[in-house]
Structure 1
């Protein structure tokens, strides 16, 4: 069975690239290309089956649905998202179109459509990278996802115009979807915590969102994203996202395999992909300066721009409608951009640390409202990361300490804590520029409760670099990470599961349950 061979290659190369510090998706891409190379060398024909295409499509839909679950639509409707995406699209088309026309010896219409295809960034890659680093709800993550959504909408418009088709009149029903939100909330409440919850996610992402939007002439990807976003404000939206995680990951393997199995390119296609890869940095540079123009700080602009520095699978979809003869060159271009972009995003934070002093010179004196500096003047204890662990630590300290502050990079989470009466503010503890010039004379201890290891390492390192002599404590799941955090500057690091076991045992001793008497009932 070809599927068994594909799975074997995908696992083997995925594991190999993971061992060298790259995302497994790079291995999945490589597996597809290796299979294509073997097929060409041996004369064996390897074709994409309907099963692989279907799995790949389902993986993309589930990814976009889970992205929607973590989105707040009000954060998308912002000047930097709308203005940044439209300006980038316009400038890219204005520069790439004449360049392609002169260099490739093609017609103006073909050059224009190629420029459009190259202007988009990958929703799949950017969302997966941001999700793996748990930065989807960080400020720079929300900006990047918002721009990607705008690009997807532009792509849908271009595809409709290129195909000479318009959505069905039934597409107007989409504007009434918000009326279904109470019903969707009740369904989510009634689904429990087991298999019904997973089936509800599949139903909304693949059937109602995917097939439903296709039936009225709209994109199935947009439908999955919209239905995910409609549930984003539900308290159990993150539980639904976690329940779909494994299914989504398996299906996404098919998507990346599909790109590679498409076949090895000829010399002209390779030259096109190489040239496009060489100009790829210009795409990120343009995003960086456009976001700086909208008063974002250099760190947010850099991280958002880096996650958008790639070419998009939506470009392939546009090409399949308008330029089918350019599918292979564009597929290689997209794949090559994935190979370049994925490892760069893996080291995005350390990379910014190295060049932050240079990028900071481009910042505007006026700051974006979401990036205003905060004051720690009277704070004695600081909790970085207000998830479940950070919130529990905050609430325990609050019983005896009033000069307490919590930081989190998720504005929605911060708003929730503020309504609950906690002294929480929006700030990204991983932001190296956050620490520059920070005056915290009263801080005595810091709890590092962020979810990712990179954030804890950066925070511990920056605290010690600024001369902080107080106590730093962190939690982690793994012993090797605990060692890294202590080496970065933390005084103590506790293993979460071990501490949970100790806490359970202490509760048992505190309760001191009486030994139950054993009554034996004699049978007559």
Structure 2
């Protein structure tokens, strides 16, 4: 109990501090572990036990990742997983092996040590990709495919460590599946995987349906945990990775109607245990080696990190990833993964690696983890912006009727509506991944920065009638509007506003039409909610129309107050109270009217 309080207290202090300093939550957890561990205040004496328990966080994370991947999508990723993943692991291993020979190791030690250090951390890279909303983009897809291959490859690497020990004439450690020898071991592993597939398809679905129908909500949470941990334990019992088993279970349940419920129930446990995993890694760092071998530790950390960065960077063009995304993903995969700890321990037990060398590599692996968020922070600050090293495309049509700046979710809807009306807008976007992805789907999108006057002129903005500004960054929207009004005042501008205050700024700039990005969709959802609660379609639409008029008039009236936060807050409160009172009066008045309430069908 006392240790749990210490973990929570340290995490609640250091993680928000690290996030506030833009260092990432992972570094905060690692620092908490260092302070709690033997090197810090020594408040926790057995970090190895904590690490074993906290590895369930990685297991739950892989299960949640599997829930997002249906079998068809996973099959479509097979070339990226086994092609790109194998290339990345092989390139990094080849670059690292000479380092082992330089240390005077045997070829067995150099091989297994290089393979272990070539692995990257799923627990580090995936949360960083998710924090930056990169998982759905090519950089996230390529990175996850490589990480998935490494998670799968960790199992044969453990067997390889024991096999290399036998080639040296040393006794091999007893593996979890020592009872299964010869052909029986692989047969049991295949049987376990087949059993998980059958269970997921024909047993888990009916059980979840039964439990979901019960009024006891926590039973579903209990079943979700039992499912993940049970599959993980089964895989471990036959000598496979717990994480691999959890991932397979997640993939099998990805197409079930209970996917979102499972994800919501697992996420809190995943987050806590994953944080505990990083705390345990921090506690396990043998920082005393800094005193005994400081040159080896620092030099090894720098050389291994650089070689991994180079190895990943060289491979990425082969999987069709270029530009700044290439460098960013190299940094994301530049650390050493959590499976390296297990492989190095197995290699030490098999006497492939001497104990002091295994301890040195383990420390370097642990230290490489906090290096990743630091390098990413430096990349964000000093590297050139996304796609800035890519030359702007040559725009073929220099006489467009409409020029559309930005091709995200907002811009895509505008473009498709125009195309449906027989109008072909000239579309410009500054995100290289977005441009490449749109072209694969058949859209003609040009790469370039629409805020640059030279590019606008080349795109034929002088001949356009309307410019639609669909960029999601408010500062860039304002800059583009100012440029357009200053140099091409004849244009009508339709601009996307991020919120009410941004809408005030654009209206003050006399933009032809300003649309808050989520306003209409939220209003439609409000109408649907009212109808679901028993309001007829006429009254629901009338209330939504009243709110639209109220909101638009408020935005116009409150422009002068947008620079005074206290005044703006007071205006919002007063206006909201007035609107709510007026709506209540209207509802009361309508309840006594019967002549105009027969319109109950939904209309746009």
Q: Which range, TM-score by smaller chain?
A: 0.7 to 0.9
Q: Which aligned pairs between 1:220-231 and structure 2 lie closer than 5 A?
A: 220-231=242-253
Contact 2:428–2:445, Cα closer than 8 Å, also in 1: no
Cα drift, residue 128 of structure 1 = 0.8
Residue 105 (structure 2) pairs with residue 106 (structure 1): yes
Cα drift, residue 391 of structure 1 = 8.9
For the residues of structure 1 that align with 2:158 and 2:65, how far apart are their CA atoms? 23
The equivalent position to 2:241 in structure 1, one of 219, 242, 256, is 219
Give the corresponding residue for 1:291.
316
For the residues of structure 2 that align with 1:406 and 1:180, how far apart are their CA atoms? 49
Which has the higher mean CA deviation after the structures are superposed, 212-221 or 466-475? Answer: 466-475
The equivalent position to 1:253 in structure 2, one of 275, 278, 291, is 275
Residue 340 (structure 2) pairs with residue 315 (structure 1): yes
The equivalent position to 2:375 in structure 1, one of 333, 341, 344, is 344
The equivalent position to 2:65 in structure 1, one of 67, 88, 91, is 67
- The SS at the match of 1:136 is coil
Cα drift, residue 251 of structure 1 = 1.4
- The SS at the match of 1:444 is strand
Cα distance change on mapping 1:147 and 1:260 into 2, 3 Å:
same
Cα drift, residue 414 of structure 1 = 9.0
Deviations, residues 440-463 of structure 1 (Å, cap 9, x unaligned): 6677324356xxx7xx87898899
Give the corresponding residue for 1:330.
361
Contact 1:169–1:216, Cα closer than 8 Å, also in 2: no
For the residues of structure 1 that align with 2:359 and 2:446, how far apart are their CA atoms? 41
Contact 2:62–2:246, Cα closer than 8 Å, also in 1: yes
With normalisation by structure 2, the TM-score equals 0.64
Deviations, residues 462-493 of structure 1 (Å, cap 9, x unaligned): 999999984441547x989x99xx9xx9x978
For the residues of structure 2 that align with 1:318 and 1:88, how far apart are their CA atoms? 18
Residue ranges of structure 1 left out of the alignment (5+ in a row)? 362-371, 518-524
Contact 2:64–2:263, Cα closer than 8 Å, also in 1: yes
With normalisation by structure 1, the TM-score equals 0.72
For the residues of structure 1 that align with 2:444 and 2:331, how far apart are their CA atoms? 22
Residue 188 (structure 2) pairs with residue 170 (structure 1): yes
Cα drift, residue 115 of structure 1 = 0.9
Give the corresponding residue for 2:56.
58
Contact 1:382–1:445, Cα closer than 8 Å, also in 2: yes
Contact 1:33–1:264, Cα closer than 8 Å, also in 2: no
For the residues of structure 2 that align with 1:129 and 1:462, how far apart are their CA atoms? 31
Cα drift, residue 23 of structure 1 = 0.9
Measured on the aligned residues, the alpha-carbon RMSD in Å equals: 5.0
Cα drift, residue 346 of structure 1 = 5.1
Q: Which aligned pairs between 1:113-512 and structure 2 lie closer than 5 A?
A: 113-164=112-163, 167-173=185-191, 174-175=193-194, 177-178=196-197, 182-183=201-202, 195=218, 198-208=221-231, 210-233=232-255, 237=259, 240-265=262-287, 266-267=289-290, 268=292, 270-279=294-303, 280-323=305-348, 325=355, 326=357, 328-345=359-376, 352-354=383-385, 384-386=407-409, 444-448=467-471, 470-475=493-498, 494=516, 500=522, 504=526, 507=541, 508=543, 510=545
Contact 1:119–1:311, Cα closer than 8 Å, also in 2: yes
Contact 2:18–2:24, Cα closer than 8 Å, also in 1: yes
Cα distance change on mapping 1:55 and 1:500 into 2, 3 Å:
farther
Which has the higher mean CA deviation after the structures are superposed, 393-402 or 27-36? Answer: 393-402
Cα drift, residue 65 of structure 1 = 1.3
Contact 1:446–1:472, Cα closer than 8 Å, also in 2: yes
Give the corresponding residue for 1:82.
82
Residue ranges of structure 2 left out of the alignment (5+ in a row)? 164-174, 178-184, 350-354, 528-539, 547-585, 593-604
- The SS at the match of 1:312 is coil
- The SS at the match of 2:105 is coil
For the residues of structure 1 that align with 2:323 and 2:253, how far apart are their CA atoms? 32
- The SS at the match of 1:160 is helix
Cα distance change on mapping 1:190 and 1:285 into 2, 3 Å:
farther
Residue 71 (structure 2) pairs with residue 92 (structure 1): no
Cα distance change on mapping 1:349 and 1:141 into 2, 3 Å:
farther
- The SS at the match of 2:384 is helix
Deviations, residues 405-425 of structure 1 (Å, cap 9, x unaligned): 9999799x999xx9xxxx986
Cα distance change on mapping 1:464 and 1:344 into 2, 3 Å:
farther
Cα drift, residue 125 of structure 1 = 0.6
Cα drift, residue 320 of structure 1 = 1.7
Cα distance change on mapping 1:475 and 1:21 into 2, 3 Å:
same
- The SS at the match of 2:155 is helix
Give the corresponding residue for 2:532.
none
For the residues of structure 2 that align with 1:239 and 1:392, how far apart are their CA atoms? 30
Which has the higher mean CA deviation after the structures are superposed, 146-155 or 330-339? Answer: 330-339
For the residues of structure 2 that align with 1:249 and 1:264, how far apart are their CA atoms? 26
Radius of gyration: which is bigger?
2
Cα drift, residue 30 of structure 1 = 0.7
Cα distance change on mapping 1:493 and 1:378 into 2, 3 Å:
closer
Give the corresponding residue for 1:520.
none
Cα distance change on mapping 1:6 and 1:176 into 2, 3 Å:
closer
Contact 1:76–1:143, Cα closer than 8 Å, also in 2: no
